[in-house]
Amino acid sequence: MNHDAYDDNYIRSILNNVKSIAMVGASPVNVRPSYFAFKYLAQRGYDMIPVNPGHVGKALMGKPFVASLADIDRPIDTIDIFRNSSHIMPVVDEALKLSPLPKVIWMQLGARDDAAAEKAEAAGLKVVMNRCPKIEYGRLSSEISWMGVNSRTLSSKRAPIPTQGMRLSLNRTSFGGGQTAASDRAAKNKTETT
């Protein structure tokens, strides 16, 4: 798997197929990116579970915080890790102890740990690094185009009107690989120099 540039079909199949997402490092503070992403994904119909030992006893959009992945009472498809790169490995280790195993490890925008990714892939999980699921969902559905963002997708079909809890179609014609060619290049230069 090339983690510098994901094919849109790879991201699309993950977002189309997963139903539940445990967000590790979710924050109840309504100006944190994790809060926005949690709320957006919940509104798009995913079963969201906030994981953060510092907020047990509180809830995020009515969903109670749990302290760790092991405390979740049902099988989960996706672990979305909202921690910086140095805190990824322990979360992946914990995820690999779950039974049944999750299907996807997703590391947030800015987070990347290639060793942890390799370990998860060896166990048969799919991995996405340095991406935001909210942005990718908004991009592939073209909902984000309202912000002037290049969705890199085309469609001659009538656009849907999103409503609460609605899953939008992500199956538009895609062009390009992961990001734009330029941002792939920049991401690559950055990982080479750091």
Minimum distance from residue 80 beta carbon to another protein (Å)? 15
Query: In this structure, what token pair is assigned to residue 41?
Result: 């994904």
Minimum distance from residue 16 beta carbon to another protein (Å)? 12
96 versus 107: smaller Cβ distance to another protein? 107
Minimum distance from residue 176 beta carbon to another protein (Å)? 6
146 versus 192: smaller Cβ distance to another protein? 146
Instruction: Give yes or no for a contact between 84 and 56, defined as CB atoms under 8 angstroms apart.
Output: no
DSSP H or E segment with residue 81: strand 78-81
45 versus 75: smaller Cβ distance to another protein? 45
Nearest to 54, CA basis, from 31, 82, 14: 82
Nearest to 2, CA basis, from 112, 165, 80, 100: 112
Nearest to 103, CA basis, from 80, 137, 132, 73: 80
User: Residue numbers of the site for another protein (CB under 8 A)?
Assistant: 7-9, 30-33, 35-36, 39-40, 109-110, 132, 135, 138, 142-152, 154-161, 164, 171, 173-177, 179-183, 185-187, 190
Minimum distance from residue 130 beta carbon to another protein (Å)? 8
115 versus 149: smaller Cβ distance to another protein? 149
CB contact set of 132 (below 8 Å; sequence gap of 6+): 33, 37, 108, 109
Other residues' Cβ atoms within 10 Å of the Cβ of residue 101: 14
Minimum distance from residue 23 beta carbon to another protein (Å)? 15
122 versus 147: smaller Cβ distance to another protein? 147
